[in-house]
Amino acid sequence: MNILVTGASGQLGSTLKSIANTVPGLHFAFASSKQLDITDFEAVRNEMDKNNYAYCINCAAFTHVDNAESETDKAKLINVTGARNLALNCHEHKTVLIHISTDFVFDGYMNEPYREEDIARPIGFYGDTKYKGERAIINNLQEHFIIRTSWLYSEFGNNFMKTMLRLGAERDELSVVYDQVGTPTYARDLAKAILHIIKAHSIDYGVYHYSNEGVASWYDFAKAIFDEQGIQVTLNPIRSEAYPTPAARPKFSVLDKEKMKSTFKIDIPNWRDSLAVAIKAYAKLPA
Ligand SMILES: NC(=O)C1=CN([C@@H]2O[C@H](COP(=O)(O)OP(=O)(O)OC[C@H]3O[C@@H](n4cnc5c(N)ncnc54)[C@H](OP(=O)(O)O)[C@@H]3O)[C@@H](O)[C@H]2O)C=CC1
Ligand SMILES: Cc1cn([C@H]2C[C@H](O)[C@@H](COP(=O)(O)OP(=O)(O)O[C@H]3O[C@@H](C)C(=O)[C@@H](O)[C@H]3O)O2)c(=O)[nH]c1=O
């Protein structure tokens, strides 16, 4: 079975690459942004014409939350037009699209975990384009799995864990917000869940939530990273107002994962356990 992975040199794409050979019978084509630009409709069509892809896993996105506020055209092109291009081409080629979305589609004013059917009301441009990308897929392709995840990190790419490890080594003192609460998600756990859906040949198409289990603030996450790595640093909990950023972020974006767990019968690790695995994996990578 042939599977196309777009945006393959990013964090999730690299993670998928690292575990791709664990499933016999799946043949992956990993396409970086240079090899396949998802905003180019004809390029996507040519790629899908040449190969008979059963699945396309879209890992391509504009993910810089703050830059999205100013680079609005670019964010929209990649996150909305790119998603629509993939959906239309998947429809034409009878390919199932697995697309990744985000907890940032929610405004964060709830105080219990968000379910798939809860109203999406993004408060930043990144979240807005990701939500419009979801709609573009739903409106053009029935055979889709849209997986909303949150606070993705891993040994690959740019992410909060690696930022904290770097800053923790450089500084004696750091301040991190404690009034934004969500769930860190180890990209390897998400990648395994994606492969599980493919292996199951599921036709339960739709929107799903997947994060690790548990709840944390960014402060909690930073503290756990330093504890796990044994870094001594003074860590100050601060309010969001004390860390001004171009984009507002939801204050609460914990995802309810019941639909994912009951449909696909998967166990989801707790974020704290997965963090320990990720830190070890990062330490093993060549510098
Ligand atoms: N990171 C996070 O915390 C979270 C991410 N998500 C979602 O998960 C998915 C994966 O995120 P992640 O791996 O962390 O993101 P990354 O930013 O690490 O990777 C995104 C990749 O998309 C590529 N890309 C950008 N534009 C195009 C294009 N026009 N055509 C093809 N590829 C393109 C980038 O390539 P290049 O570098 O060359 O531009 C990059 O390799 C995204 O959909 C994201 O919205 C959801 C929740 C949390
Ligand atoms: C580096 C740093 C960040 N922060 C704050 C800023 C922000 O509110 C929070 C998280 O920081 P980041 O900017 O690294 O993370 P951010 O880019 O907001 O992460 C988001 O990315 C997108 C792609 C998603 O889809 C989301 O799920 C989420 O993971 O921590 C501090 O308080 N102190 C610090 O030293």
Distance CA 280, CA 287 (A): 13
Cβ atoms of 153 and 189 within 8 Å: the answer is no
- Mean pLDDT for 85-95 is 98
Pairing, β 53-58 against β 27-31 = unpaired
- Mean pLDDT for 213-231 is 97
Query: Mind listing the pLDDT tens digit for each residue in 242-270?
Result: 999 999 999 999 999 999 999 999 999 99
Q: Is the C-beta atom of 163 inside 6 A of ligand 2?
A: yes
Tell me the CA–centroid distance for residue 270 and ligand 2, in Å: 20
Tell me the CA–centroid distance for residue 160 and ligand 2, in Å: 7
Distance CA 104, CA 72 (A): 16
- Long-range residue pairs from 105-111, CB within 8 A, at least 24 positions apart, any chain: 105/130, 105/131, 105/134, 105/148, 106/250, 106/253, 107/250, 108/180, 108/249, 108/250, 108/251, 108/252, 108/253, 109/251, 109/252, 110/252, 111/252
End-to-end Cα spacing for the chain = 34
126 is annotated as an active-site residue? yes
- Mean pLDDT for 154-175 is 97
Distance CA 99, CA 168 (A): 33
Given the residues 53, 55, 114, 126, the one annotated as active site: 126
Instruction: Give the position of tokens 């990209």.
Output: 187
Tell me the CA–centroid distance for residue 233 and ligand 1, in Å: 31
Cβ atoms of 84 and 39 within 8 Å: the answer is no
Q: Which tokens hold the place of 217?
A: 């603030």
CATH pick for 2-159+183-214+253-271 out of 3.40.30.10, 2.60.40.420, 3.30.70.20, 3.40.50.720: 3.40.50.720
The atom number, within ligand 2, closest to the CA of 152 reads 29
Q: Is the C-beta atom of 174 inside 6 A of ligand 2?
A: yes
Nearest ligand (C-alpha, residue 241) = 2
The atom number, within ligand 2, closest to the CA of 176 reads 32
Query: Mind listing the pLDDT tens digit for each residue in 21-32?
Result: 999 999 999 999
Cβ atoms of 210 and 193 within 8 Å: the answer is yes
The atom number, within ligand 1, closest to the CA of 9 reads 41
Which residue among 107, 159, 160 is best mutated to probe the pocket of ligand 2, counting the most ligand atoms within 8 A of its Cβ? 160
Average pLDDT, the chain: 97
| pLDDT for 11 | 98
